[in-house]
Amino acid sequence: MEAGSRERVIGVGVIGAGWMGHAHARAYARLPHHYPELPVRPRLAAVAETVPAQLADFASRFGPDRRYTDWRDLLADPEVEAVSVTAPNALHREIGVAVAEAGRHLWIEKPVGLTAGDARAVAEAVAKAGVRSTVGFNYRNVPAVTRARDLIAEGAIGTPTHARVHLLTDYAAHPAGALTWRFLREHGGSGVLGDLASHGVDLVRFLLGDLERLVADTAVFVPERPLATPGGSHYAVVDAGGPVGAVENEDYVCALLRTRGGVRVTFEAGRAEVGEQNTYGFVVHGTTGLVGWDFRRAGELVVSAGGDYQNQPATTVFTGPGDGEYARFQPGAGIAMSYDDTKVTEAAAFLRSVAEGVPHGATIEDAVRSAEALEAMERSAATSAWVDL
């Protein structure tokens, strides 16, 4: 660093060297390219991972200064000031609390534990320690989603009346898909609720505000699966004929939600949907129009606005500079952005929070609100009754 420079280098650590750990490491590496004005610059000081092959692979790709097999050793590393937690969900509470208690800033993936109690415990530790927190609700970082929120807030579609939100995919559709930790309640919590529905709840809150009440139903469509090998991906398909185990958590959830502002929302999330690959999106209807988005066409937004009411056309518009953080990545409308770009935006919000001492982006409190809604869905599914939030 040059003499007199105001930029500060901050040592970051990654706990969990799987796919999401790679996404965080790539995001840190790309920050100087897209956010050169950030007053802090990350340096990958350490990684912690219990699976030797994953640890070696991560180290060969990203070159951390040190590698650990125990995350506690990473937290004891004096050069680590901020930590990414990308370990399995069941470890989020223990590790998240420990990160905060160690005085390290926390970037943690959703759903932040298996229960709302887990998320609240991490939130309490963050507040007590006075550290910054960011949570991996990255779909709110898509420029088209930000533009949709702006259009709704500006009244472009009138008063929001109702919406449809869906997150459907097929990673668990194959009956020979491996029984990884994601399918076990002890390790994966409520299944598709924590995995996908948590993102959906955050999108509803980001676009339309907090929830007031809901009613829900859940289902398991593939009741047993072949056992997984250690470190295996939840995308893996196992050869038939071996031992199997029971799926303990939900493949599917559907719900009716009502926001505090009175917007009705039909909500659906599923992980075993044949023919669906990351089919995530929403449509928000208002008194004078609508706005809709599909993650697989992430740079496009469907908008119907005006005063015609009947026979009013819906137009597809491309996002561009001026929409969210789009200009950080591309110079003109219609150039595709990626999933990884949303994580770069998230990393920037995290380090900006660290530098400025005020929250940016999704925080641990957003994770608590999402987790409370997911638990309400589980209670409602068990009782077939509306649950107040």
Q: How far apart (Å, rounded) are the C-alpha atoms in residues 220 and 175? A: 12
Q: What is the pLDDT of residue 135?
A: 98
Integer angstrom CA distances of residue 83 from 77, 296, 348: 11, 30, 14
For 8-138, CATH gives: 3.40.50.720
Q: How far apart (Å, rounded) are the C-alpha atoms in residues 248 and 266? A: 25
Q: What is the pLDDT of residue 6?
A: 62
Q: What is the pLDDT of residue 120?
A: 98
Q: What is the pLDDT of residue 342?
A: 98
Protein fold of 140-337+363-388: Dihydrodipicolinate Reductase; domain 2 (3.30.360)
Q: What is the pLDDT of residue 267?
A: 98
Q: What is the pLDDT of residue 4?
A: 41
CB within 8 Å of 214: residues ≥ 6 apart: 255, 256, 257, 258, 267, 373, 376, 377, 380, 386, 387, 389
The residue extents of the domains of the chain are 8-138, 140-337+363-388
CB atoms within 10 A of CB 73: 13
Alpha helix ranges (H) inside 209-326: none
Its pTM stands at 0.94
Q: What is the pLDDT of residue 14?
A: 98
Q: How far apart (Å, rounded) are the C-alpha atoms in residues 59 and 63? A: 5
Q: How far apart (Å, rounded) are the C-alpha atoms in residues 310 and 388? A: 36
Query: Mean pLDDT, consecutive 10-residue segments, the chain of 389 residues?
Result: 63 97 98 97 98 97 98 98 96 98 98 97 98 98 98 98 98 94 93 97 98 98 88 73 92 98 98 98 98 97 96 97 97 96 98 97 98 98 97
User: Going by DSSP bridges, is the β-strand pair 300-304/315-318 parallel, antiparallel, or unpaired?
Assistant: antiparallel
Q: What is the pLDDT of residue 1?
A: 37
Asked if 8-138 and 140-337+363-388 have one fold, the answer is: no
Q: Are 191 and 293 in contact (CB under 8 A)?
A: no
Interhelix angle for 92-101 vs 116-129, to 10°? 10
Q: What is the pLDDT of residue 170?
A: 97
